[in-house]
Amino acid sequence: MTRPRIGLALGGGGARGYAHIGVLRVLQREGIPVDIVVGTSMGAIIGGAYAVGLEMSKLEQILARLDLNKLLDIPASAVGSVAGRIATELFTRTDWRRVEHEGTRKLCQFFSVFTKGLRFEDLKLKFAVVAADIDTGEEVVIEEGPLHRAIAASATFPGIHYPIKYGDRFLVDGGVVNKLPADVALRLGAEIVIAVEVSAPLAREVQTSIEVLSQAEMITGRELVRVKLEAVRRQLGERLILLRPKLDKISMLSLDEVSAAAREGEREALRHLEKIKALLAQPLS
């Protein structure tokens, strides 16, 4: 009997995406075969590490030792960073479309080491990342070329990082258009989709105008995820398995909380493990 093809959709959520490490560790340990991985933002980073063959416990140890806030130029306050950049650009023109910014080069160099300099074409499994075209608003699913630039593009934080040139497009964080790419995994041939949602919850009480703007954007993103998941559910039914690790105490910018998020991802994967195994054993109708 031919088993169904399993696809993983690893969502974006900043440091909350470290939960993907725990999910993947369970799947590796239990011998659950994975045929397709699609990632957005942190999901692209962790998914890329998995796709190039990094063992998840080793990845956790590496990330726990690194100062990712410094390596990825992520400030303690995203709002303060954006405000500072706006003020700077009022007086200094930065032509990032023609000259690649130093921060962009650093970002790409880091991911080049992280992905062993490999290309999508070198991988044993199907891997894709989701980014957004900042000029057209289109979703861009990248499946070929150098891994490091694609992952960097998918993880580029708008307002903190400049858009990254990929081919003839300028790309930013895929979470702008598709925070949980279960639909992409389905399009690429997955017959069972394990979708891991790590989006940050809405704030209980917003106060400032910036907080209201951020909350409104998050509401839009949540609704888009809901609509896309409903469309996938209509096609797959119970073969769409949605994992939502309990990450209430971990913020998007807590890049030093690798182990805590990974543990929650592992717990959530274990809660769904028997269902995954049962679906894997069922013939497709």
Q: Which whole-number Å values give the CA distances from 169 to 133, 135, 273, in the listed order?
A: 6, 8, 40
Indicate the burial class of 79 (C-beta count within 10 angstroms; 0-12, 13-18, 19 or more).
middle
Question: Which of 35, 133, 173, 183 is flagged as catalytic?
Answer: 173
Catalytic site includes residue 133: no
DSSP assignment of the chain, as one string? -PPPPEEEEE---GGGGGHHHHHHHHHHHTT----EEEEETHHHHHHHHHHTT--HHHHHHHHHHS-HHHHTT--S-HHHHHHHHHHHHHHS---TTTS--HHHHHHHHHHHHHTTT-BGGG-SSEEEEEEEETTT--EEEE-SSBHHHHHHHHT--BTTB--EEETTEEEEEGGGT-SS-HHHHHHTT-SEEEEE--PPPPPSS--SHHHHHHHHHHHHHHHHHHHHHHHHHHHHGGGEEEE----TT--TT-TT-HHHHHHHHHHHHHHHHHHHHHHHHSPP-
Question: Which of 41, 154, 183, 199 is flagged as catalytic?
Answer: 41
Catalytic site includes residue 41: yes
Tokens of 95: 């032509």
Q: Which whole-number Å values give the CA distances from 232 to 3, 8, 200, 229, 237, in the listed order?
A: 20, 13, 22, 5, 8
Catalytic positions, please?
A: 41, 173
